[in-house]
Amino acid sequence: MTFAKLLDQVGGMGRFQVINVILLIFPILLLACHNLLQNFTAAVPDHRCRDPVNDTCSANATESLECKDYLRVSIPMDSNWTLQKCHRFITTPSPSLNSSATGPQDREKGGEACLDGWIYDTTVFTSTIVTEWDLVCDSRTLKQMAQSIYMAGVLVGAIVFGGLSDKFGRKALLIWSCLQMAVSGSCAAFAPSFTAYCIFRFLSGMAVSGVGLNCVSLSIEWTPMQSRATVSTVTGYGYSIGQFVLAGMAFTIRDWRWLQLAVSFPYLAFFLYGWWFTESARWYATSGKLEQARRELQKVARINGQREQGEKLSLEFLTANLQKEVASAKSRFTAADLVRTPVLRRLTCCLCFVWFSTSFAYYGLAMDLQNFGVSIYLIQVIFGAVDIPAKLIAFLVICYFGRRITQALALILAGFSIVANIFVSEDMQILRTIFAVLGKGCLAASFNCVFLYTGELYPTVIRQTGMGFGNTMARIGGIVAPLVRMTSEYSPSLPLVIYGAAPIVSGIAACFLPETLNVPLPDTIEDVESQ
């Protein structure tokens, strides 16, 4: 008897599985808020130099005639005849100068940096980390560094928590990750300096990986084969809904500290009810802990109304029917096992491409919302809304045509959607936004598929290690994505070429993966090699 048949014996997709998935969705929902949080907490508002002589005109009042006259004669203008953001005149003329002075040519051409700080437009954002620590002009790269540090934390978390979950179990690491998220995220909201903020965001990033990896494994490993695609899609929609939640919270809470706290503190509640979760019986079995596996299976049977079937599960019965799992418990597994055998080498190589390029292109689009020329809150809602049809279509293709074709098509279509913007004029903002939204939807579908696909391809003994490795590649993609935008200094189209080429190449690589539709989850490396 396989473990899949044991799940059917204790109720299949019963009451326990439904409750389990619902409770796991809430931590996943707020993961989107943390991953995309800096679109709002690190937004760059309009700004100009602060004038120590006469700065009674705030950045919000520049429409008044008096302020316009003063600003025209105190701050240089750029080639588009808008006030420069990073320079002021060395000798600031008196605001009583004739208002006919309309440009830099009427004044001294000498200029200097904003030695007395900046005035920020607080119309849209009351406060951000940019306004808090003046991350503009010469310090503007620190904003991207903060996001890269966060992504580095997610990468480290994927490595650390992936291996620890296979050693100590899914439940324990999920509970710890929720506590770490609540504490580090809340501390980031009260950070006294930019350095402290980056440290706490790094720890939050680690916790994001722990929450994501273990939520996915706990849902998949307790789900019968025929319901895995449905459960994966439902949890994926949890992440999509999180993008709507983030837009709503950011629109309501305009101060970055309160917004940071609002998306972090709820993890304390997840930590508290996380003790209810049932540890994966699959993990117990492959760890040689059959008595604990028996207790968990009997608990699930009771919740599903199958008490009598659960009582039939004796230790001897499990020992006789889970021989491969018991045998695997005597072996030690490490990350090296991901490439130890021929089939696993092929799987790991192909999945590396898929995870990296999906995250690389996704964050290349999703973390640049201010450059779309429309309300940042509106574009966040649009980016979240496109996930709904994209993931529904992906679900239908996954169920009827399989995982491999879904993964490959989603990536290839995403790549072509991104590359298409190379041929669209900068003036056609609506069309450019449509292509970007289409690409983002395809990448969201790819993310939804790869989480399910990776969990089904790797055996239970190294499933979390494999998921952790995949997440590691994804976070490397997330770290590299902001850096690619710097290539626009050489050619405006170069970032789009790179963002588009990566998913196309990985979509081709996905074609070399085996199909897992209606295939039982492998528990041992031998199961993978024999498929």
- The CATH number that applies at residue 272 is 1.20.1250.20
- Same domain, residue pair 400 and 514: yes
Answer whether residue 357 is part of any domain.
Answer: yes
| Whole-number pLDDT of residue 267 | 92
pLDDT tens digits for range 28-54: 888 888 888 888 888 877 767 776 655
- What count of Cα atoms within 13 Å lies in the side-chain half-sphere of residue 84? 18
Of these ranges, 61-75, 260-274, 379-393, 512-526, the one predicted with the greatest mean pLDDT is 260-274
> In the listed set 89, 123, 157, which residue is the last one of a domain according to the structure?
123
- Same domain, residue pair 346 and 414: yes
Answer whether residue 131 is part of any domain.
Answer: no
pTM: 0.74
Answer whether residue 7 is part of any domain.
Answer: yes
Task: Tell which residue, 395, 411, 414, has the closest CA to residue 403.
Answer: 395
The band of 444, judged by pLDDT with boundaries at 50, 70 and 90, is confident
> In the listed set 61, 91, 123, which residue is the last one of a domain according to the structure?
123
- Same domain, residue pair 504 and 428: yes
- pLDDT score of 114 more than 80: no
Answer whether residue 424 is part of any domain.
Answer: yes
- Same domain, residue pair 407 and 487: yes
Across 326-343, average pLDDT: 70
| Whole-number pLDDT of residue 324 | 62
Q: Calculate ∠ Cα 203-139-202, nearest 5°.
A: 5
For 77, list phi and psi in degrees, rounded to 5: -115, 150
Across 405-413, average pLDDT: 93
Q: What is the sign of the dihedral through the CA atoms of 460, 466, 470 and 476? A: positive
- pLDDT score of 282 more than 80: no
Q: Are 142 and 57 a contacting pair, CB within 8 Å?
A: no
Answer whether residue 132 is part of any domain.
Answer: no
- Same domain, residue pair 511 and 408: yes
H helices of 387-462, in order, are 387-401, 403-420, 429-457
> How far, in Å, CA of 523 to CA of 280, rounded?
13
- Same domain, residue pair 216 and 346: yes
Report which of residues 149 and 159 the model is more confident about: 149
- Same domain, residue pair 36 and 57: no
- pLDDT score of 423 more than 60: yes
> In the listed set 93, 123, 153, which residue is the last one of a domain according to the structure?
123
| Whole-number pLDDT of residue 406 | 92
Length of the chain: 531
pLDDT tens digits for range 362-375: 888 876 665 666 67
- Same domain, residue pair 154 and 302: yes
> How far, in Å, CA of 325 to CA of 292, rounded?
14
As for how many domains the chain has, the answer is 2
- Same domain, residue pair 90 and 35: no
Q: Are strands 47-49 and 118-120 parallel, antiparallel or unpaired?
A: antiparallel
The band of 508, judged by pLDDT with boundaries at 50, 70 and 90, is very high
- Same domain, residue pair 117 and 242: no
- pLDDT score of 356 more than 90: yes
210 CB burial (10 A radius; 0-12, 13-18, 19+): buried
- Same domain, residue pair 104 and 144: no
Across 235-261, average pLDDT: 88
Answer whether residue 129 is part of any domain.
Answer: no
Of these ranges, 183-187, 225-229, 431-435, 453-457, the one predicted with the greatest mean pLDDT is 183-187
Mean pLDDT, the chain, integer:
79
Report which of residues 321 and 163 the model is more confident about: 163
Residue 515's domain comprises 3-43+139-530
| Whole-number pLDDT of residue 433 | 81
- Same domain, residue pair 29 and 75: no
Answer whether residue 320 is part of any domain.
Answer: yes
The pair of structure tokens assigned to 493 is 């189209």
